[in-house]
A and B are shown apart, each in its own frame.
Chain A
Amino acid sequence: MRANVIAGRELRSLFLSPLAWAILAIVQLIHAYLFLIGVDQYLQIQGQLSMIEGAPGVTDLIIGQLFASAGFILTLVVPLITMRLISEERRARTLTLLFSAPLSAFEIVLGKFLGVCAFLAAMLALLAAMALSLGLGTTLDLGVVASGLLGLALMLMAFAAIGLYLSSVTSYPAVAAISTFGVLLLLKIIDLATSADVTQPGLLSYLSMQHHFNNLLRGSFNSSDVVYYLLLTGLFLALSVRRLEAERLQS
């Protein structure tokens, strides 16, 4: 399997570009700011909370909030990371190198996907470290943290797959970025139409990424949520493979 060779180069090229570092720094800064606000607000309402029975705990209020915001911020950021994956190679005509090498389209797609996932994992690790630092001062519900992180990781995987596919259909990174952002946002808000009736989740809320993410954020691990993200990821990876294979037929 030579996908890891492609993944390695992808990661390396990402870290050689100032864009990746800028994204990491800025995202971390914003997360930190939100984290601080969360802690501050919690301290203000802590007294009142202690009087309410069954009130949400520190993990839900601070870390849950942080992860929810991160889920939104990353909708904006992931398209910027995935936009160049294939479109840039097509533009610089380096895609020929991959097509002439003894690689299947699947290996190319998987390599690109793993490369960008490794980068997103680094981003997630920074976020997780920040969240866990709260454990120095209080006791955290680690189950909820883990479930939230899992949700975020699964969602990022789906983001990456969607970005990869949209990058494979164009040779303009900017077009790939804006269309990825459009699709991600749509998938997040698609259940707004049905939100009036929370008790009966319909098709639209099943399609919504936010709906499944919310479940995991609350710490309720449901295999259908996990399957949803895996299906979404698999679907877009398969579409990317098809797109690359079609390239040889059309061009």
Chain B
Amino acid sequence: MTQQTLIEVTRLSRYYGSTRAIHEISFEVKRGEVLGLLGPNGAGKSTTMQILTGNLAPSAGAVRINGIDILDEPKRAKQAIGYLPEQPPVYRELTVDEYLRYCGRLHGLSGQRLASALQRAKQRCGLSEVGHRLIGNLSKGYQQRTGIAQAILHGPDVVVLDEPTVGLDPIQIREIRNLIKSLGEEHSVILSTHILPEVQSICGRVQIISQGELVLNDSIEGLQQRMHTSSLTLGLSRTPELAQLRAVDGVQQVEALGENRFRVHYQPDNNPAERLAELAVGRGWGLHELAPERKTLEDVFVDLTATEPSVEVNAA
């Protein structure tokens, strides 16, 4: 049950005229997974989500939601999807209750089922207090929550959220992240974001899209691995000779960072941290800092999305 594939995307492409929005993207999402879609502006995140939710027809490729092709049987497939677009699709002249009831009816809920779904969605999104208020009078954060409530109201298998935490304050962001995590337990969730820590805190898997292509598809653990680098920062009180540092076994290169701090690059399988510490103590350099450097997710992101041209140069 937990391994059931809910979303299956095969070789999806979409062109706007001659502009390529996304190109041959394939991936799968299983039940109980939260997938983070990362990418710079205009990379094709929203386009991918629009295609997944049946708002846009792909130029090529197929999308299966719970085994149902969204182009062949759009109604059945859409019944299993909840979608929050970039801008929450709310009617400003309706109250939160009226709006959510309308959304529920559009998905075929009625009577007692509608009432309980409404209660549950409102409670999960923290909207219980504002049910009778006009959406137009609510703050951006509450409108966003209403948008999320709309997406989860009918208990869809797949929840697609396009930048769900935009416009929320830090406390609301935390609440929404917890909500997404709990949604991820029973449903599949795909969310796009440009807030990198968000991905680290809620997603089980990450995909990075750049210029319409999938450049990374990895679990969070795999991503952590990528974030390990082979360098150390070394902080000393007295200036040593760089040659002495270079002579240590395993050290490839030493960069002076100023103020007696150095970056030591080493061979990946030969960490010289221990030997450096011994040396520093033995020579009385006054060791006060010795730390492995870690790339942030941001570095990985920038590496993956910005190095593409240089890869081509190397190949040529």
Contacts and interface: CB of A to CB of B under 8 A. Distances in A.
Contact of B93 (A13, A93, A95, A98): A13
Contacts of A251: 56
A98 B75 CA distance: 12
A248 B78 CA distance: 14
A102 B83 contact: no
Interface string A224-251: 0000000000000000000000001101
A101 B56 contact: no
A42 interface: no
Q: Chain A interface secondary structure, helix, strand, loop or mixed?
A: helix
B148 interface: no
The number of chain B residues touching the other chain, given as a range, is: 20 to 34
Most-contacted residue by chain A among B57, B106, B107 (CB, 10 A): B106
B54 A99 contact: yes
A100 B53 contact: yes
A46 interface: no
A2 B105 contact: yes
A182 B105 CA distance: 36
Given A99-B55, A102-B79, A13 B85 contact: no
B102 A9 contact: yes
B300 interface: no
Contacts of A99: 53-55
A145 to B, nearest CB: 37
B102 A92 contact: no
Contacts of A2: 105-106, 108
Interface of A: 2, 5-6, 9, 12-13, 16-17, 92-104, 248-249, 251
Interface of B: 53-57, 74-76, 78-79, 81, 83, 85, 87, 89-94, 98, 102-103, 105-108, 150
The 7 closest A-B pairs by CB, nearest first: A97-B89, A101-B106, A102-B78, A100-B83, A94-B89, A5-B105, A102-B75
